[in-house]
């Protein structure tokens, strides 16, 4: 056996293929025994070029494309896009449509948070909670299928409104579903705040103070678990939220347990919202007409996705195709917090700290330029072609 | 129950060898099915463990670069052989052990530990990061549960004054269940067995969300299959020993069946109840709680054993 050079640093790499992450991301944890001393992330394995793709399609086609940015929070992407286009076109969707948009967004939040609860429990080796929460998540998936016909990409939005309506039998089903889920969620709240072995894995793990959260630009439940009072639904209400206000939920502790508690409390708030909206659904039309050509302009559209603030920047040029669409997804904002928090923790805590921000990989993939000493950022097509041939030779 | 069997048959077919392998697959199925039902899943079909095993045997065994190939191939075989050998000294199926000598308890316990040592070596043999971390954790865990587990298994032996498994098995049937008189010992023995087999919540050495499959990450095909079935065999032997020591001995196959199955039910329940412990939590738990409990237990036994006659003679005199 030949002797191999033993590197001084012991690096455990996780991903892009690893059982902990079902989506492609690459992390390198430098460990000293079990303790992590350094962490880096590399993204970009499933870059799909969607922003560029938007410029090649008209606004209606883009709506369908943007709904597929994320597989879990699909509705909010379409919602953010539709709201932006409506703002550019100077139209406003009718109140009933806005309320239904919020209703689907809240149902989506329920499904996303229950999914996260299961994934986070699985990362901590608590498969029983994983199986139970995913079983109950089927309830909300069935409800979404009932009202929209789809389990994942609900396609509820059109430019200028929605294409689904809520009838009485659907309302009853929603009420029944919310009652069942609320009862189950009370049980999960008990599990995550009282189960000793589980608390051993979450309490005082991944501690992030309020200042750190602000400094690292954390968003969504991750930031709210550190006491940052920030929620787009509250700060600048959109869609149906001006009419149906949301309670801001924060937790001061800042550890993993707080992230569980915040999300579970948000579940309760979402159940309340769903009930409120279906009980007081405004009457009226479902959509208004939006012109095919959108007048020239720029806008920013912000919505609160289940993972945090989702930002769309849009620039129109007077044609039926956008000039530029820029998407900033919440997971991208939260990476910095993970990499900072990782240092000093045990390797065994890494999956849970990673899962604690509820990462979504494919929606935050960006093209990454690794600058290996070269100084030029401008490459011509010919340069790129040559580089590609050389790279894969 | 006594049964005289040709030693070669005892070694290869019954109660060791083939019979035990088949039986351990049944227990793996029961274990998996029970956990699945506790977790509200459907669970595997009855032949799934066998199908998995056959599939693994049929697959190509990849020997990664940088390992010692001989060690890589031979380690799973040693692990399985040690587990099968241990089966000869315990009252499998409620029958008398195939072999028996005074002090075979210690030999059996060491044969059972060989599995973890082999897994640790297998991990350390490869250059894979996950394997190395897994091997470190497996050996760390070995050092934490092994002493309490050993002491827990010695409880009935000390109480009865013999280190022969067969004698303990027979004598246990005539006493109260040690489960009642030595509850701490039983608890530590059962949980120690779970630690030994790296079952949840003690599965940090093979925590899939952190280090893929731990020490066995680089194993595929035959080696992996043999390691798996070796662990199943060890599960059956461990359950047999605990049942015979703490649950009033195993005097007939029926006795064996219901006692080990009840124990399996309890372990399956424990496996689905908890979140995975970090390796430092595991070590802390064993040394802070497990060892203390079992030492207290041992002290009580020794005091009872040596002071009991003295007190008796004092009262009698």
Tokens of B54: 């056959």
Q: In this complex, is the C-beta atom of B140 within 8 Å of any C-beta atom belonging to chain A?
A: no
CB contact under 8 A, A13 and B38: no
Q: Return all residues near A222 (Cβ < 8 A) that are at least 6 apart.
A: A208, A213, A259, A307, A308, A334, A337, A356, A357, A358
- CA distance linking residue A281 with residue B254, whole number of Å: 65
> How is chain A split into domains, by residue range?
51-327
Q: What is the pLDDT along chain A (393 residues), one digit of tens a residue?
A: 445 555 567 888 887 877 767 778 788 888 887 788 888 887 777 778 888 888 888 899 999 988 888 888 889 999 999 999 999 998 988 999 999 999 999 999 999 999 999 988 888 888 888 899 999 999 999 999 999 888 888 888 988 889 998 888 999 999 999 999 999 999 999 888 888 888 888 888 888 888 888 888 888 898 999 888 888 988 888 888 988 888 888 888 888 889 999 999 999 999 999 999 998 888 888 888 888 888 888 999 999 989 888 899 999 888 888 988 888 888 888 888 888 888 888 888 888 888 888 887 777 766 656 666 665 566 777 888 888 898 887
CB contact under 8 A, A197 and B279: no
> How is chain B split into domains, by residue range?
7-316
- Residue among B46, B35, B270 at smallest CA distance from A131: B35
- CA distance linking residue A120 with residue A355, whole number of Å: 6
Q: Whole-number mean pLDDT of chain B?
A: 84
- CA distance linking residue B249 with residue B260, whole number of Å: 11
Residue holding tokens 């492609």?
Answer: A24
**Among chain B residues, CA nearest to A3:** B66
Q: In this complex, is the C-beta atom of B312 within 8 Å of any C-beta atom belonging to chain A?
A: no
Tell me, what's the pLDDT at A253?
A: 87
Best of B210, B216, B268, B281 to mutate (most A CBs within 10 Å, chain A): B210
List strand residue ranges (DSSP E) for A224-345, in order.
297-305, 308-316, 322-328
- Report the relative pairing of strands A10-14 and A26-32 from DSSP bridges: antiparallel
Tell me, what's the pLDDT at B185?
A: 82
- How much is the average pLDDT of B44-56? 91
- Name the interface residues of A facing B (CB cutoff 8 Å): 1, 4, 10-13, 18-20, 31, 33-34, 121-132, 135, 195, 197-198, 200-201, 346-351
CB contact under 8 A, B40 and A201: no
Residue A158 per-residue DSSP state: E
User: The pTM is what?
Assistant: 0.84
Torsion of CA A61, A64, A66, A72, to 10 degrees: -170
Residue holding tokens 């498969």?
Answer: A127
In chain A, helix, strand, coil percent, each to 5? 50, 15, 35
The angle, 0 to 180 degrees and rounded to 10, between the axes of the packed helices B48-58 and B221-246 is: 140
Residues of chain A contacting B39 with CB distance shorter than 8 Å: 127-128, 130-132
User: CB A37: neighbour CB atoms within 10 A?
Assistant: 14
Reported as a single tens digit per residue, the pLDDT across A231-280 is: 898 888 888 898 888 888 888 888 888 999 999 999 999 999 999 999 88
Q: Return all residues near B74 (Cβ < 8 A) that are at least 6 apart.
A: none
CATH fold group of domain A51-327: Cytochrome-c3 Hydrogenase; chain B (1.10.645)
Nearest by CB: A131 against B41, B208, B274: B41
Q: In this complex, is the C-beta atom of B276 within 8 Å of any C-beta atom belonging to chain A?
A: yes
Tell me, what's the pLDDT at A143?
A: 92
């Amino acid at each position: 056996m030949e002797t191999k050079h033993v590197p001084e640093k012991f690096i455990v790499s996780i991903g892009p293929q690893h059982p902990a992450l079902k989506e492609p991301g690459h992390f390198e944890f430098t460990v000293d025994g079990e303790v992590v001393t350094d962490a880096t992330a590399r993204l970009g394995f499933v870059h799909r070029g969607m922003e560029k793709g938007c410029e090649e399609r008209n606004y209606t086609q883009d709506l369908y494309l943007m709904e597929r940015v994320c597989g879990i929070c699909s509705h909010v992407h379409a919602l953010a896009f539709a709201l932006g286009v409506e703002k550019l076109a100077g139209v406003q969707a009718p109140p009933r449509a806005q309320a239904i948009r919020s209703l689907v967004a809240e149902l989506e939040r329920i499904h996303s948070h229950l999914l996260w609860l299961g994934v986070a429990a699985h990362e901590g080796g608590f498969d029983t909670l994983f199986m139970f929460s995913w079983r109950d998540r089927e309830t909300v998936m069935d409800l979404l299928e009932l009202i929209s016909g789809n389990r994942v990409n609900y396609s509820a939005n059109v430019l200028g409104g929605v294409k689904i309506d809520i009838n009485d039998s659907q309302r009853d089903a929603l009420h029944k579903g919310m009652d069942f889920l609320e009862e189950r969620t009370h049980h999960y709240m008990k599990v995550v705040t009282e189960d000793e072995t589980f608390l051993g894995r979450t309490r005082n793990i991944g501690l992030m103070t309020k200042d750190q959260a602000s400094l690292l630009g954390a968003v969504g439940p991750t930031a709210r678990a550190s006491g940052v009072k920030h929620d787009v639904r509250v700060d600048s209400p959109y869609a149906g939220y001006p009419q149906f206000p949301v309670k801001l939920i924060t937790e001061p502790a800042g550890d993993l347990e707080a992230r569980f508690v915040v999300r579970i409390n948000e579940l309760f708030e979402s159940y309340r919202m769903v009930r409120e909206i279906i009980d007081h659904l405004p009457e009226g039309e479902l959509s208004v007409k939006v012109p095919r050509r959108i007048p020239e302009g720029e806008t920013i559209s912000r919505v609160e996705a289940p993972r945090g603030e989702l930002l769309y920047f849009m620039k129109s040029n007077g044609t039926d195709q956008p000039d530029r669409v820029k998407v900033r997804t919440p997971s991208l904002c939260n990476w910095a917090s993970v990499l900072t928090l990782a240092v000093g923790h045990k390797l065994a805590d890494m999956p849970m700290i990673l899962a604690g921000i509820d990462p979504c990989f494919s929606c935050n993939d960006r093209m990454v330029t690794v600058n290996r000493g070269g100084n030029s950022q401008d490459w011509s097509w010919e340069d790129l072609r040559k580089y590609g041939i050389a790279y894969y030779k | 129950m006594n049964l005289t069997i040709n030693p070669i048959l005892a070694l290869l077919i019954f109660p060791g060898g083939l019979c035990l392998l088949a039986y351990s697959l049944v227990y793996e199925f029961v274990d998996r099915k029970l956990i699945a039902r506790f977790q509200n899943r459907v669970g595997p079909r009855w032949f799934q463990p066998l199908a998995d095993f056959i599939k693994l045997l049929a697959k190509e065994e990849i020997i990664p670069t940088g390992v010692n190939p001989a060690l890589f191939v031979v380690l799973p075989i040693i692990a399985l052989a040690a587990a099968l050998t241990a089966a000869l000294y315990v009252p499998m199926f409620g029958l008398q052990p195939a072999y028996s000598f005074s002090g075979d308890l210690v030999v059996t316990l060491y044969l059972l530990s060989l599995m973890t040592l082999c897994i640790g070596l297998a991990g350390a043999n490869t250059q894979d990061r996950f394997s190395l971390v897994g091997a470190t954790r497996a050996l760390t865990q070995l050092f934490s549960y092994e002493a309490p587990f050993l002491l827990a298994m010695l409880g009935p032996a000390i109480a009865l004054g013999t280190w022969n498994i067969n004698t303990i098995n027979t004598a246990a049937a005539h006493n109260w269940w040690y489960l009642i008189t030595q509850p701490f010992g039983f608890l530590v023995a059962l949980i120690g067995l779970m630690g030994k087999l790296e079952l949840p919540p003690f599965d940090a050495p093979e925590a899939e969300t952190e280090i893929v499959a731990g020490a066995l990450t680089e194993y595929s095909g035959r080696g992996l299959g043999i390691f798996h079935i070796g662990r199943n065999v060890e599960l059956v032997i461990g359950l047999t020993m605990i049942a015979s020591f703490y649950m009033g001995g195993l005097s007939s196959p029926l006795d064996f069946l219901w006692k080990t199955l009840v124990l399996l039910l309890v372990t399956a329940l424990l496996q689905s109840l908890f979140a995975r412990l970090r390796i430092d939590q595991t070590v802390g738990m064993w040394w802070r709680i497990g060892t203390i409990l079992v030492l207290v237990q041992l002290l009580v036994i020794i005091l009872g054993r040596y002071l009991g006659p003295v007190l008796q003679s004092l009262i009698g005199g």
